[in-house]
Amino acid sequence: ETFELLDFLGMFKVEVQQNIAQSRDFQVTTPDQPRTVQCDPAKLRHILRNLIENAFKYSHNSHKQPELKLSYEGIFFEIKVKDYGLGIPKSDQGRIFESFYRGSNVSNIKGTGLGLNIVHELVLAMNGKLDFESIENVGTTFSLRFPYNFNYEGVE
């Protein structure tokens, strides 16, 4: 399926504001130029929903709002989801994509530990790449990278 990224993110932002953010806001930054991508929009929505849900959930104690940033990188597009929350302790960072794994600093926050496991599988199945950087008590940034045409053979 083919769709335009800026329209997609505009609708996604409304959906997040209505269902996830509640009274909190988040910033969406995009380039001005529209770009068409070919992938399953329902899967991309699922991936972004999980990342932004985590960003809100694990930054409840923060006065800074989560951010979503789109950029175009050659034949790929990149979406970063950034928060200024609890962060992921170094000792947990190797395991967060495992099913049912939950960080040692989140035991008082509800969750099953399945969200990222499914997201990771979906991203790989779509020839994409998922990375993150996190510092405990500073924040976390997840980076998603996809070819515009998801049939392209892999992301370097």
Of 2-10, 72-80, 111-119, 148-156: span binding ligand ATP (CB under 6 A): 111-119
Record the tokens describing residue 150, joined without a space: 């998801």
Residue 111 binding ligand ATP, by CB under 6 A: yes
Residue 113 binding ligand ATP, by CB under 6 A: yes
Out of ligand ATP, Mg ion, none, which partner does residue 20 contact, by CB within 5 to 8 A per kind?
none
Tell me how far apart the terminal alpha carbons of the chain are, to the nearest angstrom: 23
Question: For 149, phi and psi rounded to 5 degrees?
Answer: -105, 110
Integer-rounded Cα radius of gyration of the chain: 15
Residue 143 binding ligand ATP, by CB under 6 A: no
Q: How remote is the C-alpha of 135 from its chain's centroid?
A: 17
Inter-helix orientation angle 41-57/5-19, to 10°: 40
CB atoms within 10 A of CB 59: 22
Of 13-21, 24-32, 78-86, 148-156: span binding ligand ATP (CB under 6 A): 78-86
Of the two residues 140 and 150, which places its CB atom closer to ligand ATP in the complex? 140
126, 150 Cβ separation under 8 angstroms: yes
13, 43, 49, 102: which one binds ligand ATP (CB under 6 A): 102
Of the two residues 3 and 69, which places its CB atom closer to ligand ATP in the complex? 69
5, 85, 126, 128: which one binds ligand ATP (CB under 6 A): 85
36, 101 Cβ separation under 8 angstroms: no
| Residues at the site binding ligand ATP, with contacts judged by CB under 6 A | 54-55, 58, 83, 85-88, 96, 101-103, 106, 111-117, 140
